[in-house]
Structure 1
Amino acid sequence: MQKSIRNKKEFTLLSISILAALTMPVYAEDAIDTRDVMITATRTVQEVKETPSAVEIITREDLDKLGAHTLGEALRMATSINVSAPAMAGSSITVRGMSTRHTLIMIDGKRLVSEGSYATANSYELERINMENVERIEIVRGPVSSLYGSDALGGVINIITRKPEKQELTVSLSPQRYFGDTGTGIDNYSLRYDTGKDNKWSWIVSADRAKIDPYENSDHTTKSQFGTRENLNMDGTYDFTANTHLDVSINLLREDLDGRTTQSAGVLRNDTYTNSRDQYSLGLRGKVKNGDYQIRTFYGEHDKDNKSYLLSTGALTDFDVSNRKTYGLEGHVSTQLSDRHLLTTGSEFRTEQYRGTRIGTGNKVYDITYGSITKQGSEAEIDYSAMYVQDEWLVNDRLLIIPSVRYDDSDKFSGNVSPKLGMTYKMNENYRLKANIGKGFKAPSLDDMYMEMTKTMGSMVVHVTGNPDLKPEKSNSYELGIEGEKGKNFGKLTYFVNDVKDLITTDTTVTFVPGVGMRADSTYLNEDKADIDGIEFEIGRRLSDKFTVKMNYTYLDATGKTGQRLEGRAKQQGTFQLHYDNIRQNGISAVLWNEWKKDYLYSSSSHINKTYALWNVSVNKKWSDTFSSYIGVDNIFGKKDTELNLLGAMFRAGVTFKI
């Protein structure tokens, strides 16, 4: 009863704040070239040069030049971002040394319903999100909890999708093959239909399919999951007036994947992963005299079915199922209070539900049987509510100050306040000084609090137990940077500090159980901390109207509570890039780049550090307004390291037709 009353109060508070915001006067911006603006850093349209945050935009032209099909491929040249493939499956990403689970990944500002455990949060999204329907990717490095709350402890990656323009059908085909093993690779297919303006409605319907071949290790296990992944997206806009729009979004994901691993005594096991995700949203946005607004409701459901079989006999040995649901309401409004103040206020209400065999709450316990195996499942739920406010204060023609603060509450943890203060100071017409100070936080997930999992991984039985007494992870962050452009040269230099406390980690005990073998028992604890300091350096020069050279470099000092280095991070990393564009209507663009890492800590227990560099090239040719193609080679010199998932040189090609 108390919970019901609490939820009604939170929902009423949220509704009042949104309705109040929608009654405020709203301001209409002039058209701005979206290649030079960022909306994620402040939730408002702002020029990249003006925003105090450390940001980066990957444009549609960049994606075409790279021939990128997945989010992981698109991020390979980004500053202070490391993408790697762990032994299990999926990919991990660190932004300025923060873990994969500390990065908030969104599509058009919407959260994804996905895996939420300590080990798997965000790990599969880098392959799931296809780039064919993407207009640009906006990256904010550093905590953005003052606007986005939990999960934005390390940064935000916001994928902005294409908007309807003209009636057009686009078909793309692109195979990828490893050299020396031409039967192994990935085939990508995509289809997109743009209706253009049909009276007041406009739609983009897109579908893509990836067929992934198994890459076998010498023991006939597979390095990653293989099978098929399919997406269907329908995004529509109805124009009530020139300044009022209704947005409808439907996104469907289906995965049918396999993976082979070794069980005890060298016995091969085949795992199947049948996943589905349905996400829907309905939003109203508009502009009036002094600002703009958006209100949106959303719902998402993710089903996961994982079964394990003996490869030799097909006998079922284990299974796990889960169902996750997320639904909520959010809204914000930006109001031009005066020539020097743009005020943004917003609210959010969100509920997450989790039902499955890897959770042990004792709530609504049920049995599920496959074959001769019966498992017990249960349910968990968490409610979130939040309010935030931000002021973009143009003090004078040289100084912009942006204070923001957000209050997050939940029925599972106490309220949290996340403030941030950003500043951009124009030293002169060419150079700018930027500074940020703020606090971030990440609430423990339902998995972290209520996990109850026993699973055979390799030759070891792993048992993981959640901890309902976990506290949110919190951070204090600081950064100071200078950036500028002069003539043909441009660059940035940023020093950042991110001190994290109450970091969630695992306490693991390994024992030998007679008749079973090795067993690892783990539970989650708030006993760790991280001190992550670093320097980011970006520099470039336009050599001519066709050639541009760029370089980025990051030095990272990431340590835990005892001073030990944090695993899965490089002390130094960077890229060197040579870009070419002959600037013709039917022209050629290309990029040759080197990505390198020095002292990448692969294993802290075994003290394994790795240093390596990879050369890559991609060339895109536009033959006409309706036909283009690309060709490229990743890892040109064929470096192999199965621990790092470096599997040799890969040839990539693709064609795109427009009708």
Structure 2
Amino acid sequence: MRPCALLLLLIGLLPLLNAPPQAQPAPARPVADTTARADSLWQLDMEQVVVTATRAERSADDVGVPVSVIGQQEIEAQGAARATDLLADQPGLSINNDHGSGLQMRGLGPEYTLILLDGEPIVGRTAGTLDLGRLTTANIERVEVVRGPTSSLYGSEALAGVVNFITGAPAGDLGGEVRTRYGTHGTVDLSARLEGTSGPWQGSVFVDRYRTGGYDLSPAALAPTRPGYVDYTAQARGQYEAGPSTTFSLRGRLATQSQNYDVGISADGTTGDVRHAQQNDRHDWNASAEVEQQLGAGWRLTGTLYCAGYHTDQSLRRVDNGTIRSESVLDQYHGEAEAVLRGALGNNHLLTVGAGTTVETIDADRKTGTRRGGFGFVQDEWSPLASLDVTGSLRLDGNSDYASRLSPKMAVRYAPFDRVSFHASVGSGYKAPAFRQLYLNFTNPQAGYSVFGTTEAQRGLQQFEEQGQIDTFFRDPSTLGEPLAPETSWAFNAGFTASLWGDATLRLDAYHNEVDNLIDAEAVARKTNGQSVFTYVNRNEIYTRGVEARLTLRPTSALRVQLGYDYQEAKDRQVLDELEAGDVYRRENGRDVQVSPDDYAGLPGRPAHTGTVQLRHMALPFGLTANVQGTLRGRAGYADRNGNGIVDVDREYVEARTRWDVTVSKTLLDDYTLRLGGENLFDYTNPRRVPSIPGRTWFAELQAQF
């Protein structure tokens, strides 16, 4: 059944389901009122409510899985303009700058973290990375971060965790907000929001224009280190209360980005002096329609139709004669229809049941494909005792491109004392094969190597053989083309939360994650030009494990201090087996030296030690509020430089570094707020290995509410 037809059928059934509403049963634990006072710059003591961890409103303190919330007050106090800036300084999170600014969590790369906007997936990844620089924070009410596999509720890509950016619903009469921000490197950010309610109607409109001139840490090169761009975002939402039991909602978002800069390329394709103009254009959009029906006996039925699209258009041409060197166009579409039923079973169970269907397509120069699937999930939140919560969930995903996947999860929270609670969870996550791993058909015009997705490998090799381009087969071509299995994981988490004294709170989590069936490229033939032909196979196994500690202190009513420390390991088990067997060497002083397991740094870009500090003080002279954040990242592996395929010597690391940011805010005439801030105050740069850090930057922002 098509998604639109499913939604229309659900709407058509509403009159039959419109039973008089009954009182909703109380959740297993009371949920605090999180409405902040209008004159409060931020919220310190209110209990945080989350929806991402269980797909329903629950107190963050009552959830058995690691979840954290970045509230609107913290977003504004930090002065972050883009999602990248906001998440870069959060404990346990780091930004990986490869094909965009992606999020790395618990030792796993950006491709294993699901990014949501108002509970729906954002599409448009490049080499697995979803660029968080595409998202503005100006209209974000809060961000929920769930650590650990959550595929039992959300399916593919939720292997490392889920990050949900949630926009605010209109509250009150007609009003709005205007912001203007100016910063280093020609950064200008202008945004406006208008919202209001009238009887059964609620609505809001938001627009944002963000421009940056980029920066250049290596002036000798023709291309800038980070090119500038202009980004536009428009977003709207509306809600209609059709009756005491029925609510209709609509959401839509459109974002565009344009980028144009010069690069130098020589005739053979390497870096040179021939000036070329690089033009990159991007458009992405998403829209959803939702109907919510309150049923009898405290049950609620929700139907959602969601669709999203992503388009890129890139070209490279010579400046002197206009000759086009390369062009590429990509179009991606994601459609989904879902129905969720939620309600109470007796006094101790809250049941959630959902099912839906999806369709995804991609049309690009090097890959074209379509996949269809369906899913169903069930979750039971059981509270046998006032001090004990048990949540179990299970999801089944079926797909036209890969084998069905069953993803279970169990979480337990036990609070034997008022000031101490223990939590533990075990669950499975998975990541579906990417379109490029299935449908790619690419031959590099300069180097001459070729890469085929699994569905293209047999046909591509047959064509090369008929053309006389194959010298040697490393594998029988008839054995190729087997469906790729999803990458899967099993993860364990255990910890506790304790109120030590007064307003001091400590949370400690230990985790272990085993990831199997990692998809990697394998050479299957050698061409007559000496280059290889690659395809994709399930091969590697890795593990990540670590400890996360969070300490919150309240020395005074006006000062909050948050300290975070993370230790992590992320290593490839195949490499460890080779090291244990004594099969890995490096060259030192003209001799081969055996590499020991202790020399192995693990997966690149994962520091073993990171720490964060945040101080927020709201009682400074002249009514100022100050927010200071510091991040310490220990040294991390960068890349193999001695040819043995792993990071094992000092010159292959990125050095340890610190970053300090400060933001000062002042409220003027009740409706205006002025913010001044500085980032990377000690001006750390490493143009070669960390080009994503531009050095010290400054900004000024004025926010007006009406």
Q: CA offsets, 1:15-72, max 9 Å, x none?
A: 89x9899789883768743461110000011101100010000000000001111111
Tell me how far 1:107 sits from its aligned partner: 0.7
**Structure 2 residue 64 is the aligned partner of structure 1 residue 56:** no
Give the AA of the match of 1:490.
T
Who is 2:49 aligned against?
37
**Structure 2 residue 575 is the aligned partner of structure 1 residue 562:** yes
Structure-2 separation of matches of 1:549 and 1:347: 43
Who is 1:477 aligned against?
491
TM-score w.r.t. length of structure 1: 0.87
Q: How does 1:423-438 map to 2 (within 5 A)?
A: 423-438=412-427
Tell me how far 1:506 sits from its aligned partner: 3.0
Structure-1 separation of matches of 2:512 and 2:292: 37
Q: Match of 2:703, SS?
A: strand
Structure-1 separation of matches of 2:627 and 2:371: 46
**Structure 2 residue 151 is the aligned partner of structure 1 residue 114:** no
Distance 1:186 1:12, change over 3 A: closer
Structure-1 separation of matches of 2:681 and 2:74: 20
Who is 1:353 aligned against?
361
Who is 1:647 aligned against?
694
Among 310, 334, 337, which residue is 1:326 paired with?
334
8 Å CA contact retained: 1:402, 1:422: yes
Q: Which runs of 5+ in 2 are unaligned?
A: 35-46, 456-482, 577-599
Structure-2 separation of matches of 1:250 and 1:10: 16
Among 592, 604, 610, which residue is 1:573 paired with?
610
Among 531, 534, 538, which residue is 1:526 paired with?
538
Structure-1 separation of matches of 2:341 and 2:619: 42
8 Å CA contact retained: 2:117, 2:166: yes
Distance 1:248 1:84, change over 3 A: same
Who is 2:405 aligned against?
416
Structure-2 separation of matches of 1:615 and 1:602: 23
Q: Match of 1:52, SS?
A: coil
Tell me how far 1:8 sits from its aligned partner: 7.7
Give the AA of the match of 1:110.
E
Structure-2 separation of matches of 1:235 and 1:461: 49
Among 103, 108, 111, which residue is 2:113 paired with?
103
Structure-2 separation of matches of 1:614 and 1:462: 41
Structure-2 separation of matches of 1:461 and 1:587: 65
Structure with more relative contact order (C-alpha pairs < 8 Å, separation 6 or more): 1
Q: How many residues are paired up?
A: 615
Tell me how far 1:522 sits from its aligned partner: 4.9
Who is 1:4 aligned against?
none
8 Å CA contact retained: 2:31, 2:58: no
Who is 2:585 aligned against?
none
Who is 2:240 aligned against?
238
Distance 1:270 1:188, change over 3 A: same
Structure-1 separation of matches of 2:157 and 2:606: 20
Distance 1:502 1:185, change over 3 A: farther
Q: CA offsets, 1:247-301, max 9 Å, x none?
A: 1111111111134444325144332111112221110124454143321101222
Distance 1:11 1:136, change over 3 A: same
Tell me how far 1:616 sits from its aligned partner: 1.2
Tell me how far 1:303 sits from its aligned partner: 1.6
Q: CA offsets, 1:171-209, max 9 Å, x none?
A: 1111120xxxxxx24211111111x11232221100101
Tell me how far 1:461 sits from its aligned partner: 7.0
Among 573, 578, 603, which residue is 2:639 paired with?
603
8 Å CA contact retained: 1:14, 1:349: no
Which protein shows a greater Rg? 2
Give the AA of the match of 1:494.
D
Tell me how far 1:121 sits from its aligned partner: 3.2
Q: Match of 1:449, SS?
A: helix
Q: Which is further off, 306-315 or 248-257? A: 306-315
8 Å CA contact retained: 2:381, 2:392: yes
Looking at secondary structure, tell me which structure has more strand per residue.
1
Structure-1 separation of matches of 2:525 and 2:321: 30
8 Å CA contact retained: 2:527, 2:533: no
Structure-2 separation of matches of 1:159 and 1:232: 16
Give the AA of the match of 1:212.
T
Structure-2 separation of matches of 1:583 and 1:484: 30
Who is 1:442 aligned against?
431
Distance 1:19 1:399, change over 3 A: farther
Who is 1:363 aligned against?
none
**Structure 2 residue 512 is the aligned partner of structure 1 residue 497:** yes
**RMSD (Å) for aligned C-alpha atoms:** 3.0
Tell me how far 1:388 sits from its aligned partner: 0.5
Structure-1 separation of matches of 2:25 and 2:671: 34
Give the AA of the match of 2:282.
N
Q: Match of 1:202, SS?
A: strand
Q: Which is further off, 459-468 or 34-43? A: 459-468
**Structure 2 residue 555 is the aligned partner of structure 1 residue 543:** yes
Q: How does 1:287-436 map to 2 (within 5 A)?
A: 287-288=294-295, 289-359=297-367, 379-436=368-425
Distance 1:147 1:637, change over 3 A: same
Who is 1:370 aligned against?
none
Tell me how far 1:467 sits from its aligned partner: 2.4
Q: Which is further off, 590-599 or 283-292? A: 283-292
Q: Which is further off, 42-51 or 465-474? A: 465-474
TM-score w.r.t. length of structure 2: 0.81
Who is 1:220 aligned against?
222
Identity %: 24
Distance 1:473 1:15, change over 3 A: farther
8 Å CA contact retained: 2:211, 2:230: yes
Q: CA offsets, 1:533-558, max 9 Å, x none?
A: 11111112101011111111111110
Distance 1:28 1:435, change over 3 A: same
Structure-2 separation of matches of 1:224 and 1:208: 21
Structure-2 separation of matches of 1:105 and 1:50: 23
8 Å CA contact retained: 2:3, 2:337: no
Q: Which runs of 5+ in 1 are unaligned?
A: 1-6, 178-183, 360-378
